[in-house]
Amino acid sequence: MTLIEAARAVRENAHAPYSNFKVGAAIRATSGAVYAGCNVENVAYPEGTCAEAGAIAAMIAAGDKRIAEIAVIADSPQPVSCCGGCRQKIAEFADGDVVVTMATVEGLQAQTTVADLLPGSFDAAYMVRS
């Protein structure tokens, strides 16, 4: 199963009764394992969870720590991009050259890298004190 197929399958499980905008995400960890997540809305919008965050949480819960590749899919007119918060979450666990595939349920795809998705990302180097 490809990452897009895994993201497409988990998207069907999304809980999106308010926006009706179901999103699926799948991550291949550096171990080769695949982890999937879907968006889970809450009537109090800030309390919802993005698909990418769910996939990252599944990866961490399973003991993997690094993303090798990620795919995101939604029913949108153009390939769906990750929100700003998820871009930062992805950057925490992926190198800048990691490929991010963004897709629509109709089959359109676009690819970018984590570095291009979040240029100038905040990283651990900012936390170092001399």
Domain of 12, CATH number, reads 3.40.140.10
Q: How many domains does the chain fold into?
A: 1
Q: Facing residues of 109 across strands? A: 103
Q: What domain range includes position 15?
A: 3-127
Check the annotation: does 40 bind a ligand. Answer: yes
Q: Is position 5 annotated as part of the catalytic site?
A: no
Angstrom distances, CA of residue 64 to CA of 81, 86, 92, 108, 121: 24, 18, 13, 30, 22
pLDDT digits over 95-127, tens only? 999 999 999 999 999 999 999 999 988 888 888
User: Could you tell me the pTM of the whole model?
Assistant: 0.94
- Annotated binding residue at 82? no
39-73 tens-digit pLDDT: 999 999 889 999 999 999 999 999 999 999 999 99
Catalytic option among 52, 69, 92, 106? 52
For residue 64, give the H/E element and its range: none
